[in-house]
Amino acid sequence: MEADFVIVGAGSAGCAMAYRLSGAGASVLVIEHGGTDAGPFIQMPAALSYPMNMSRYDWGYLSEPEPHLNNRRLVCPRGKVIGGSSSINGMVYVRGHAMDFDTWSEMGADGWAYADVLPYFKRMETWHDGGHGGDASWRGTDGPLHVTRGPRTNPLFKAFVDAGKQAGYEVTGDYNGEKQEGFGPMEQTVWKGRRWSAANAYLKPALKRENCDILRGLAARVVMDAGRATGVEIIRGGKAEVIRARREVIIAASSINSPKLLMLSGIGPAAHLAEHGIAVVADRPGVGANLQDHLELYIQQAAIQPVTLYKYWNLLGKAAIGAQWLFTKTGLGASNQFESAAFIRSQPGVPYPDIQYHFLPIAVRYDGQAAAEGHGFQAHVGPMRSPSRGAVTLRSDRPEDAPVIRFNYMSHEKDWADFRTCIRLTREIFGQDAFKPYAGKEIQPGAAVQSDEELNAFIAEHAESAYHPCGSCRMGRASDRNAVVDGQGRVIGVEGLRVADSSIFPQITNGNLNAPSIMVGEKMSDHILGRDPLPRANDIPWINPRWEASQR
């Protein structure tokens, strides 16, 4: 078994690379441990809480007990299925803010400023505005990834945006266009009523070509020969076999599994590898370090009118939605229900948004548990740029064992101040006139929770991961000891090996990570093929002219 390129991981970036590399005539083998994405749990957008809690589709990772969050172990779902996490995520589509990528460039990721990446965001998408306005000139028209907007028929979606406006915030018609800051419609990777995962967009078309194939197996280690990656050892049916790469091995196994695979292959912090008896191929202390994520809270409000989705939160309601979706791919089942959003700044002096809102017209947990007491609505809110950093390390030298995941959440005082600000700003938004016809009492945290100490206790008990882990194989210059890959994704100190997924982000981006992860796969494809990058864009993004003096 051999190919020009062996890609480990059929996730967001891996699928994009399989499509682009095979489209250029190279032979590609994709190694994926998970199985098929067929079936309504994955393909029906409104069923999103199911696949991320099914061991069939999810690696089932847990963090170590988090010392600042009452020693809770937080779930860290990662897709173990065709399409990777794009097959089990919330389908929210956010490119990230222009200044996120300019920061990457300043941190040593040469060639990854906003002007460099915007052309790839355009190349990868076909954008449908759904009649809700937007910035067509900033968007793509013929890429494999369809990006749509929900119908926004529920009156609460409009109330949320109107309340933001009443509170003095900006409104934006397209947070993925010129202006991220403000309240407006949310975008989703849904097309014709189906989840439009990286598997549907990229991998399935690629697999129709003679020169692209997929293998089911667990990647155990990268095979090295005199400092060069020559293949991947996989385990399938209990046996080890080697898949040879004629040109390069590309790891796209997630911010959790990519550093794990590098370390199992002898690339990582030398002392840590020695603890597990692994021979050192390249001493790279940055492998597994710099782990970042977004945390969020659900601020829940009771509704005094029966306009929320709670009326469907029963067996009959769910069955009716499911049946309509199965037969027509329409109705409530055809949306992830995240149809209004906001990006705001926490205080004056912050140049671009550092708080994100997902608005949902039901009060429920992300894992589908416990619809709150009857009708309600909620905002998922959290800070975008926490200073806290964690690490992924090996539990053992056995590929079957889950790695040790320590996010070190809330380890800075700034995290706590930022989260208290999030709660107070959300309460102010829910208190605006636009919500007067709908808003009852506050369900969570509850009106009695007001002081810093009370809010801190609530945060420690209720903060949840937004499932945006990244950063654990950071991109930087070859001279940077802590960088793992260079600006072309090449693992520093090794030949013939690249990493291309969310693990290479130097810093977490604003919003959900699926769009930038796919963009990494798109852009890396050109580097791998030795092509000139797409010409840089000269679009100038909107930055609030009052940012130094004003919070809104």
Instruction: Flag whether 350 is marked binding.
Output: no
pLDDT of residue 374: 86
Q: Please give the C-alpha separations between residue 104 and each of 111, 181, 368, in angstroms, as whole numbers.
A: 9, 20, 35
Describe the crossing of helices 12-23 and 514-528 by its angle, rounded to 10 degrees.
30
For the four alpha carbons of 117, 119, 124 and 129, in that order, the dihedral sign comes to: positive
pLDDT given at position 436: 98
358 is catalytic: no
Task: Output the DSSP codes for 12-27.
Answer: HHHHHHHHHHHHTT--
Put simply, whether the predicted model's pTM sits higher than 0.85 gets the answer yes
Predicted pLDDT at 419: 98
The rounded distance, in Å, linking the Cα atoms of 366 and 381 is 13
Q: Nearest Cα to 429, choosing from 541, 293, 551?
A: 551
Report the C-alpha gap between 22 and 19 in whole angstroms: 6
pLDDT tens digits for the chain (552 residues)?
Answer: 999 999 999 999 999 999 999 999 999 999 999 999 998 899 999 998 889 889 999 999 999 999 999 999 999 999 999 999 999 999 999 999 999 999 999 999 999 999 999 999 999 999 998 777 789 999 999 999 999 999 999 999 999 999 999 999 999 999 999 999 999 999 999 999 999 999 999 999 999 999 999 999 999 999 999 999 999 999 999 999 999 999 999 999 999 999 999 999 999 999 999 999 999 999 999 999 999 999 999 999 999 999 999 988 888 999 999 999 999 999 999 999 999 999 999 999 999 999 999 999 998 765 555 555 689 999 999 999 999 999 999 999 999 999 999 999 999 999 999 999 999 999 999 999 999 999 999 999 999 999 999 999 999 999 999 999 999 999 999 999 999 999 999 999 999 999 999 999 999 999 999 999 999 999 999 999 999 999 999 999 999 999 999 999
Instruction: Provide the CATH number for the domain around residue 342.
Output: 3.30.410.40
Q: Which residue type occupies 80? A: K
In the beta sheet, which residues pair with residue 377?
301
Which pLDDT score is estimated for 191?
Answer: 97
Q: Are 512 and 296 in contact (CB under 8 A)?
A: no
Residue 180 lies in a domain: yes
**What SS3 string covers 418-458?**
HHHHHHHHHHHHHCCHHHCCCEEEEEECCCCCCCHHHHHHH
Asked whether 387 and 468 are in contact (CB, 8 A), the reply is: no
Q: Rounded to 10 degrees, what is the CA torsion of 185, 339, 437, 423?
A: -90
Q: Is 326 inside a domain boundary?
A: yes
Q: How far is CA 180 from CA 200, 234, 242, 378, 458, in A?
A: 27, 43, 46, 21, 29
Please give the Cα distance from 482 to 470 (Å, whole number): 15
CB under 8 A, 24+ apart: contacts of 39-43:
40/322, 40/325, 40/326, 42/81, 42/83, 42/87, 42/88, 42/195, 42/197, 43/194, 43/195
Establish whether 90 is an annotated binding residue: yes
The Cα-based distances of 66 to 75, 409, 410, 468 in angstroms read 11, 7, 9, 17
Which spans in 87-154 are helix H? 98-106, 114-124
Among the listed residues 97, 294, 358, 468, the single catalytic one is 468
Q: Is 28 annotated as a binding residue?
A: no
pLDDT of residue 366: 56
Residue 27 falls inside a structural domain: no
Q: What six digits make up the tokens of 22? A: 């095979």
Q: What is the pLDDT of residue 49?
A: 85
**Contact status, residue 496 vs residue 229, Cβ threshold 8 Å:** yes
Token match 């098929």: residue?
Answer: 36
Domain that holds residue 175: 151-185+295-383+411-462
Q: Is 89 annotated as a binding residue?
A: yes
Evaluate whether residue 38 is within a structural domain. no
Instruction: Give the model's pLDDT for residue 459.
Output: 98
Count the Cβ atoms, other than its own, within 10 Å of residue 150: 23
> Cα–Cα distance between 420 and 431 in angstroms, integer?
17
What pLDDT, on the 0 to 100 scale, is given for residue 57? Answer: 96
| Domain tally, the chain | 1
Helix axes 452-462 and 413-430, enclosed angle (nearest 10) = 100
Looking at the domain assignment, is residue 447 inside a domain? yes
How distant, in Å, are the alpha carbons of 164, 338, 360, 371, 373 from that of 301? Answer: 16, 16, 11, 12, 10
| Token pair 């406006």: residue | 165
Report the pLDDT value the prediction gives residue 547, as an integer from 0 to 100.
98
Residue-level pLDDT at 368: 54
Report if residue 13 sits inside a domain: no
Centroid of chain to Cα 508: 10
Dist. CA 431–CA 515, nearest whole Å: 33
Residue 174 lies in a domain: yes
Does the annotation list 290 as a binding residue?
Answer: no
Per-residue confidence (pLDDT) for residue 294, from 0 to 100: 98
**DSSP-assigned beta bridge partners for residue 147:** 127
Look at residue 388 and tell me if it is in a domain.
no
Q: What are 289's two structure tokens?
A: 């370090």
Strand, coil or helix: what is 259? helix
